[in-house]
Structure 1
Amino acid sequence: MLLELKRIQVPPGQRVLLKDVTWQEFKTILEDLGEHRAARIAYDSGILEIMAPLPEHEYDKEIISDLVKALLEELDIEFRCLGSTTFKNQAMAQGIEPDQCFYIQHESKIRGKKRLDLTVDPPPNLALEVDITSRTHLNIYQALKVPELWRFEKGKLQINILQNGIYVESQESLNFPRFALREVIPQYLERSTTAGRNATLKAFRLWVRQQMQQ
């Protein structure tokens, strides 16, 4: 399988599905692919998906991530951003690589750790998926018990909160309940395409401070 895998070329925006992949094969494939790659993976009960993101996907992901980091910094909240870390749980036979993820309330529990094991470590408090290619696997995030999942698609931000093991769409963030992020994040993302990243982040930080004073 590894020889075949090395021959697979996934064009940007496309995906490849491999069926009947065992857990051990999944782990071996992850090692073979390495950590420094553009492709994202998802594993669900024997089905492995390999997807190559589009350039606009990466741009949106980076700007939204920067906005979340700026918000956390303005709120003076310790956090750890782990990017597209592979989160997996053998007992559930599932694994996922979010576009971005944040440890916020759980940050102190994983502080200093180089590798995470979701059988003993908590999941990230917030995961982000930019769905240029509609690849979000809600069932995997639910199984891994990620409390909050943001899905950005077609210019809109969807906030999903885990309630009784199932995601429920919410008007506000569990991590940032005081802020109208569903409306504001897309606005500042669009603003960055004309004003530039730095100017947009500066304006966003000012908006955050104004909200905190209300």
Structure 2
Amino acid sequence: MTSAIPVVKPVSQLKLAPGSAVTIPDVSWQEFESILLELGEKRSARVAYSNSTLEIMAPLPEHERLKDLISDIVKVLLKKTHRRYEPFGSTTFKKEGSAGVEPDACFYIQNYQFMIGRRRLQPDDPPPDLAIEIDVTSKATIDAYEAIEVPEVWVYNSGKLKIYLLQDGKYLESNISPIFAEIPVTQIIPTVVERAWQVGSVQAVEELEILLSASS
């Protein structure tokens, strides 16, 4: 009788089609850290880790375009509300021993001064004030954000923007963003995104800037 011999290959050899994801259970924190090193920093795949579950996702081109567009919209809204910020893109945020996540985009706003000049995150750095995710259905991703205590997460999916606010360690959906309390972002962002598919991202953002200037 022959016994099965497990085949072990580096995670970096995974070939994920755009838009696909793989879930790996029973991953220890040490294994997660090793996988991050193996994958390296110059990669398109995104990772999320929580409750010993690792997810690796390969984004579609549409995903990348939306990520950049919504980031540009946020920058316009921050300029409109006269606030400075530090963008940290898809930086890997971790809570030692339990969770890790890479936003599609994120911003330090209230804590922007604290993060000026940061080339690497330090253990005592706060989480970003706003994280943005495109087309997320992953529980591991949301659980990771809760563990890291990101106060506000936006999820854009199927033409709708949902706002999640951290309250007592759990996310609750809200119609209003505390960061942009006077701006109906759940209406503005889907409208600008749809417009961008028609006329291009640059023109859509320029039109938003003109609209905001006219309303001031």
Rg larger in structure: 2
Whether the aligned pair in 2 keeps the contact of 1:78 and 1:107 (CA below 8 Å) is yes
The residue type paired with residue 105 of structure 1 is Q
Distance in structure 2 (CA, Å) of the matches to 1:34 and 1:173 = 34
Q: Which residue of 2 aligns with 1:162?
A: 166
Q: Which residue of 1 aligns with 2:21?
A: 15
Structure 2 residue 57 is the aligned partner of structure 1 residue 54: no
Shift of 1:23: 1.4
Distance in structure 2 (CA, Å) of the matches to 1:163 and 1:6 = 37
Structure 2 residue 77 is the aligned partner of structure 1 residue 77: no
Whether the aligned pair in 2 keeps the contact of 1:61 and 1:130 (CA below 8 Å) is yes
Whether the aligned pair in 1 keeps the contact of 2:95 and 2:147 (CA below 8 Å) is no
The residue type paired with residue 107 of structure 2 is F
Q: Which residue of 1 aligns with 2:69?
A: 63
For residue 112 of structure 1, give the secondary structure of its aligned residue in structure 2: coil
For residue 120 of structure 2, give the secondary structure of its aligned residue in structure 1: coil
Greater shift, 93-102 or 44-53, is seen at 44-53
**Aligned CA-pair RMSD:** 1.7
Q: Which residue of 1 aligns with 2:96?
A: 90
The residue type paired with residue 135 of structure 1 is S
Greater shift, 150-159 or 21-30, is seen at 21-30
Q: Which residue of 2 aligns with 1:129?
A: 133
Shift of 1:151: 0.5
Distance in structure 2 (CA, Å) of the matches to 1:190 and 1:154 = 11
Check 1:43–1:2 CA distance in 2 against 1; reply closer, same or farther (3 A cut). Answer: farther
Consecutive unaligned residues in structure 2, runs of 5 or more: 1-6
Deviations 1:121-171 (A, max 9, x none): 11000000101x623622211111111000111100001111222211111
- For normalisation by structure 2, the TM-score amounts to 0.90
- For normalisation by structure 1, the TM-score amounts to 0.91
For residue 85 of structure 1, give the secondary structure of its aligned residue in structure 2: coil
How many aligned residue pairs are there?
Answer: 209
For residue 143 of structure 1, give the secondary structure of its aligned residue in structure 2: helix
Greater shift, 72-81 or 143-152, is seen at 72-81
Structure 2 residue 194 is the aligned partner of structure 1 residue 185: no
Whether the aligned pair in 1 keeps the contact of 2:175 and 2:186 (CA below 8 Å) is yes
Specify which of 185, 205, 209 is matched with residue 209 of structure 2.
Answer: 205
Shift of 1:104: 0.4
The residue type paired with residue 168 of structure 1 is L
The residue type paired with residue 23 of structure 1 is W
Consecutive unaligned residues in structure 1, runs of 5 or more: none
